[in-house]
A = this chain, B = another copy of it.
Amino acid sequence: MRFEFYNPTRLIFGAGSLAQLGKAARPYGKKALLVIGRGSIKRSGAFDRAVSALEEAGISIVEFSGIEPNPRLSTAMRAAELARKESCDMVIGMGGGSVMDASKIIAALVFYEGNPKDMFMRAGKIARPPERALPIITVPTLAATGSEMNCGAVITFDDEKLKTFVRAEVLYPRVAVADPELTLTVPRDHTAYGISDMLAHVAESYLNAIEGTPIQDRFAEGVMLTILEWGPRVVENGNDLEARTQIQWASIVAWNGWVQVGTEHMLPVHMIEHVLSGLYDIPHGAGLAALLPAWMRFAARFRPQRFAQFAQRVFGLSANGEDKMSLAMKGIEKYEEFLRSIGCPTRLSELGIGKITEEMLFHWAEESLKVNCDAEGRLPGRPPLRKEDIIEVLRMAL
């Protein structure tokens, strides 16, 4: 176990914490680019409360609205142009994962010279990582991606329809203000997709981790157990603030690095899913729910012991006499059942992208290798996936 860990984001968490946004932002300047999506936070009143908190702290606001659910590079570039023109001191992203990711990218684009696409992963590497960014502050309104407390961001190159990502230390938010009250108005379906997303962050990294990290295994299992317990409650009653709180906290630790540190995890299913949400604009969490069980059934053949541990520790299945493989399969069944029980699709045919042909599977497999691949042209994972393997996984998910 060898690693470097660094996460300097200050997290202000809890119901009512939005009121602290002004105080939290004050050390970073006097003028903020406030980045939002398509206006739902204006209808809920959260936007006005954020603006008041900032103005009371003497921070003036330049608004940029209209970040798409799968944010586009061209949109981020327009926002960065505005931040430059207005000489903003910081970027505040208030919204879901898309808005927070776009805000990070905007903060870096303000200083980035040359081709903006060089900032992102392509063919297994980032040509020129960003080295500077405006201070970033995140205010999540959805419990899902955990973007509020990590240094990653996903973007779609609109001209190529390529969905890719960046990870860089300069993209750590200085502060994340996570107020579960802001998530009370998230509709049932997107609440469920958020749960699918956070659960996938933990499950996929856990099942693609090295052996020999017992603490991180326990952490991952603990987060999954908590999501399995509290997820259904928040889907059933979106007004349950206690459930919203537990689930939002789960979404943050699912992807702030604490669970994965030292595990050398990989995320092949995320890479495949990005192709789908990049091409068809489906919610990331829905796409993950449709793909992950199929990938699990494929990958369990290679690591039955790890999947058996997953079945036992996360779903409480008992080994008694059963062989690893059948135990593994039962755990996967339980995972899929859970996703269905909260209303997630678990098949590609349920994603509303029409008739799916063999040619489409072939194309998706090729596209997924454009972002990340190893020296042998395979998608990194345990096991690494050749193009044929990806097609097989996709076929299993039909």
Q: Which residues of A contact B (CB under 8 A)?
A: 1-17, 212, 214-215, 217-219, 221-223, 225-226, 229-230, 242, 245-246, 249-250, 253, 258, 262
Q: Give the residues in chain B near A13, CB-CB below 8 Å.
A: 1-5, 262
Once the chains are docked, how many angstroms separate the CA of A336 from the CA of B1?
Answer: 30
> Which of B2, B6, B15 touches A17 (beta carbons < 8 Å)?
B2
Once the chains are docked, how many angstroms separate the CA of A207 from the CA of B362?
Answer: 55
Once the chains are docked, how many angstroms separate the CA of A13 from the CA of B17?
Answer: 34
> Which of B4, B17, B221, B249 touches A222 (beta carbons < 8 Å)?
B221
Q: Is the CB of A245 within 8 A of B1?
A: yes
Q: How many copies does the complex hold?
A: 2
Q: Give the residues in chain B near A212, CB-CB below 8 Å.
A: 242
Interchain nearest-CB distance for A184 vs B (Å): 16
Once the chains are docked, how many angstroms separate the CA of A249 from the CA of B212?
Answer: 12
Q: Give the residues in chain B near A225, CB-CB below 8 Å.
A: 214, 218
Once the chains are docked, how many angstroms separate the CA of A221 from the CA of B16?
Answer: 30
Closest to A176 in B: B5
> Which of B6, B15, B217, B246 touches A11 (beta carbons < 8 Å)?
B6
Interchain nearest-CB distance for A167 vs B (Å): 16
Closest to A169 in B: B10
10 additional contacts, CB 8 Å, given A4-B13, A249-B262?
A: A3-B14, A4-B10, A6-B9, A7-B7, A7-B8, A214-B230, A215-B249, A218-B223, A219-B219, A219-B222
Interchain nearest-CB distance for A12 vs B (Å): 5
Interchain nearest-CB distance for A93 vs B (Å): 19
Q: Give the residues in chain B near A215, CB-CB below 8 Å.
A: 222-223, 226, 246, 249-250, 253
Nearest 7 interchain pairs by C-beta: A218-B222, A2-B14, A8-B8, A6-B10, A5-B11, A214-B226, A215-B226
> Which of B4, B8, B16, B214 touches A246 (beta carbons < 8 Å)?
B214
Once the chains are docked, how many angstroms separate the CA of A304 from the CA of B9?
Answer: 37
Interchain nearest-CB distance for A150 vs B (Å): 14
Q: Give the residues in chain B near A2, CB-CB below 8 Å.
A: 13-17
> Which of B12, B16, B214, B253 touches A4 (beta carbons < 8 Å)?
B12
Q: Give the residues in chain B near A4, CB-CB below 8 Å.
A: 10-13
